[in-house]
């Protein structure tokens, strides 16, 4: 028999109860949180789609490995296991553990960047951009034009615009110490990058003698999209495809909180001995000795196994399908989303859904808050609150007002996803009743985390 139903490729050995609340409870919780879901207690959330980072479920094999870990300060057995797993996958020579992805970014950029330099990428994630700007350098986004059009379907919307990259390297190449590509492209909707495009970036890097680094947080999801969508890769394993991706690069930064299937951790890996030595010196200063880099031995064990489990094809089939399934239900009901669905999240186009709420009254916040109040679901605004405030204090609408529903790995079942679809479709049906918000306490930086809001008119986001 050929089965059409794709099931969760695991059974559940240990469960965590979720708390059911009623509408009044949630209204009160949201008021207490000053209408900012970052300020909620997680216990008051039924289905938490705030992020896919560090929120995944570990396997029995990972939990088992924890107790076998070696907590030696230097030269721990767990480090060598971790190093072997990362090297097997990436092929990189120097492997430097860090406490999470942004630590790898900080160490890399502090090591290689000088003020006034430029780092191109398809789209920089916000911590990547922030770490580049912290070195007084410039982060340039060069995703293909199709990657900027939410409703447009394209198999590899995360691809780099090669002509634009070549122009940059021609005109200002002397200021570019390295080129980055983010797989999958989180800021652009969790969209994949093709191997053909990566080879194109590699060719330009060779021509202009620049190292290429991957932001590899979601490398396995990217590899599975290549298997599904790129001609010639249908019969390759996700692991072989991932190895081919890494073989095109000179190094990577990684948050093991995503495709490492771990709750914490990351690494910086590269082939350049000089940069590696400088990075390790910085690592010792702020993270720890090079064989633990701010992690416990048991974290290194969890990551080593996570990196093996994440390339399992039945896992990736279920993973990508469950996001696609949610996307199909929402777009089938007329909810505007970034098409096609990404690898780790659905991005709802809140500006298109709520045209009566002007961008400076934050349609994304209106939708996030209504989803919480109506259904106990927590998503995140990726729009004007996150990107609209400028260093000079002025505010303009962001390019898009999106709401991201990021799905933690191996945590929720299909009925959870069905519930999420029902809730979003229900909230979309009451869109006319949703109202905008204003910020009553404006933090100066990263205001989306802590800002306090008030509804523009009476009512709890509805
Ligand atoms: N790069 C990308 C593409 C990311 O998505 C993230 C984190 C990082 C780097 C930084 O890694 O959190 O381990 O320091 N993204 C999370 C998210 C926070 O919700 O998308 P980190």
Q: What CATH code is carried by the domain that includes residue 439? A: 3.90.1150.10
Q: Is 269 within a domain?
A: yes
Q: What is the pLDDT of residue 462?
A: 44
Report which ligand 1 atom has the smallest distance to the Cα of 256. 13
Q: Which residue lies with its CA nearest to atom 1 of ligand 1?
A: 125
Q: Is 16 within a domain?
A: no
With a 6 Å cutoff on the Cβ, whether 266 touches ligand 1 is: yes
Q: Are residues 239 and 338 in the same domain?
A: no
Q: Are residues 305 and 342 in the same domain?
A: no
Q: Is 357 within a domain?
A: yes
Q: Which residue lies with its CA nearest to atom 18 of ligand 1?
A: 53
Q: Are residues 303 and 347 in the same domain?
A: no
| pLDDT bucket at 104, cuts 50 / 70 / 90 | very high
Report which ligand 1 atom has the smallest distance to the Cα of 100. 13
CA–centroid distance, 262 to ligand 1, in Å, is 13
Q: What H or E segment, with its residue span, contains residue 417?
A: helix 414-429
pLDDT per residue as tens digits for the range 3-38: 888 899 999 999 999 999 999 999 999 999 999 999
With a 6 Å cutoff on the Cβ, whether 100 touches ligand 1 is: yes
Q: Is 14 within a domain?
A: no
Q: Is 8 within a domain?
A: no
With a 6 Å cutoff on the Cβ, whether 217 touches ligand 1 is: yes
Q: What is the pLDDT of residue 277?
A: 98
CA angle 339/146/407 to nearest 5° reads 35
Q: How many residues does the chain have?
A: 462
Q: In what order do the strands lie in the sheet with 94-98?
A: 94-98, 266-270, 251-255, 212-215, 179-182
The last residue of one of the domains, among 252, 280, 309, is: 309
Say whether pTM exceeds 0.85: yes
Q: Are residues 358 and 441 in the same domain?
A: yes
The last residue of one of the domains, among 309, 329, 355, is: 309
To test the pocket of ligand 1, the residue of 258, 287, 344, 406 to mutate (highest count of ligand atoms within 8 Å of its CB) is 258
Q: Are residues 317 and 433 in the same domain?
A: yes
Distances (CA, A) of 371 to 281, 423, 426, 452, 460: 46, 7, 9, 18, 11
Has residue 308 got a pLDDT over 60? yes
Report which ligand 1 atom has the smallest distance to the Cα of 104. 14
Q: Are residues 247 and 323 in the same domain?
A: no
Q: What is the CATH number of the domain that holds 231?
A: 3.40.640.10
Six token digits for residue 396: 């303009």
CA 11, chain centre distance (Å): 26
- Domain coverage including residue 258: 60-309
With a 6 Å cutoff on the Cβ, whether 98 touches ligand 1 is: no
Q: Is the N-terminal amide bond of 279 cis, ω within 30° of 0?
A: no
Has residue 460 got a pLDDT over 50? no
Gyration radius from the chain CA atoms: 22
Q: Are residues 40 and 68 in the same domain?
A: no
pLDDT per residue as tens digits for the range 107-148: 999 999 999 999 999 999 988 999 999 999 999 999 999 999
The last residue of one of the domains, among 282, 309, 336, is: 309
Q: Are residues 90 and 215 in the same domain?
A: yes
Has residue 459 got a pLDDT over 60? no
Q: Are residues 88 and 31 in the same domain?
A: no
Six token digits for residue 83: 């190093």
Q: Is 378 within a domain?
A: yes
Q: What is the pLDDT of residue 295?
A: 98
With a 6 Å cutoff on the Cβ, whether 222 touches ligand 1 is: no
Report which ligand 1 atom has the smallest distance to the Cα of 344. 20
Q: Is 177 within a domain?
A: yes
Split into its structural domains, the chain has a count of 2
Six token digits for residue 401: 């007002």
Q: Are residues 114 and 225 in the same domain?
A: yes
- Alpha-carbon span 32 to 83, nearest angstrom: 45
- Alpha-carbon span 11 to 60, nearest angstrom: 11
Q: Is 2 within a domain?
A: no
Q: Are residues 382 and 423 in the same domain?
A: yes
Q: Are residues 290 and 326 in the same domain?
A: no
With a 6 Å cutoff on the Cβ, whether 62 touches ligand 1 is: no
Q: What is the pLDDT of residue 458?
A: 53
CA 449, chain centre distance (Å): 17
């Amino acid at each position: 028999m050929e089965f059409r139903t794709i099931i969760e490729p695991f059974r559940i050995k240990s469960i965590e109860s979720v708390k059911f609340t009623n509408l009044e409870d949630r209204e009160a919780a949201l008021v207490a949180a000053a209408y900012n879901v970052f300020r909620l207690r997680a216990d008051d959330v039924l289905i938490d789609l705030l992020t896919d980072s560090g929120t995944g479920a570990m396997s029995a094999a990972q939990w088992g490995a924890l107790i076998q870990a070696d907590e030696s300060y230097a030269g721990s057995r767990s480090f060598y296991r971790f190093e072997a797993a990362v090297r097997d996958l990436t092929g990189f020579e120097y492997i430097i553990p860090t406490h999470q992805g942004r630590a790898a970014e900080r160490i890399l950029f502090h090591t290689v960047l000088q003020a006034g330099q430029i780092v191109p990428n398809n789209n920089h994630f916000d911590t990547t951009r922030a770490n580049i700007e912290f070195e007084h350098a410039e982060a340039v986004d060069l995703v293909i034009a199709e990657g900027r059009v939410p409703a447009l379907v394209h198999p590899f919307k995360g691809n780099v615009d090669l002509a634009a990259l070549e122009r940059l390297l021609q005109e200002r190449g002397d200021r570019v110490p390295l080129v980055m590509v983010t797989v999958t492209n989180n800021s652009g909707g969790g969209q994949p990058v093709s191997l053909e495009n990566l080879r194109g970036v590699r060719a330009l890097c060779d021509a202009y003698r620049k190292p290429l680094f991957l932001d590899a947080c979601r490398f396995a999801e990217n590899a599975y999209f290549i298997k599904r969508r790129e001609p010639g890769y249908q019969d390759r394993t996700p692991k072989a495809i991932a190895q081919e991706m890494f073989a095109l690069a000179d190094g990577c930064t990684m948050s093991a909180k995503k495709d490492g299937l771990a709750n914490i951790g990351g690494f910086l890996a590269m082939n350049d001995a000089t940069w590696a030595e400088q990075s390790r010196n910085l690592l010792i200063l702020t993270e720890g000795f090079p064989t633990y880099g701010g992690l416990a031995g048991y974290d290194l064990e969890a990551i080593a196994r996570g990196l093996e489990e994440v390339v399992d094809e039945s896992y990736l089939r279920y993973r990508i399908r469950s996001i696609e399934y949610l996307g199909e239900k929402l777009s089938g009901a007329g909810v505007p989303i970034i098409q096609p669905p990404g690898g780790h999240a659905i991005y709802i186009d809140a500006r298109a859904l709520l045209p009566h709420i002007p961008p400076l009254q934050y349609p994304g916040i209106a939708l996030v808050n209504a989803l919480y109040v109506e259904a106990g679901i927590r998503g995140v605004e990726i729009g004007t609150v996150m990107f609209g405030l400028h260093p000079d204090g002025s505010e303009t609408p962001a390019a898009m007002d999106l709401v991201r529903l990021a799905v933690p790995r191996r945590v929720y079942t299909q009925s959870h996803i069905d519930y999420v679809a029902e809730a979003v479709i229900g909230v979309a049906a009451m869109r006319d009743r949703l109202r905008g918000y204003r910020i009553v306490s404006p933090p100066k930086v990263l205001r989306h985390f802590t800002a306090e809001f008030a509804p523009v008119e009476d009512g709890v986001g509805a």
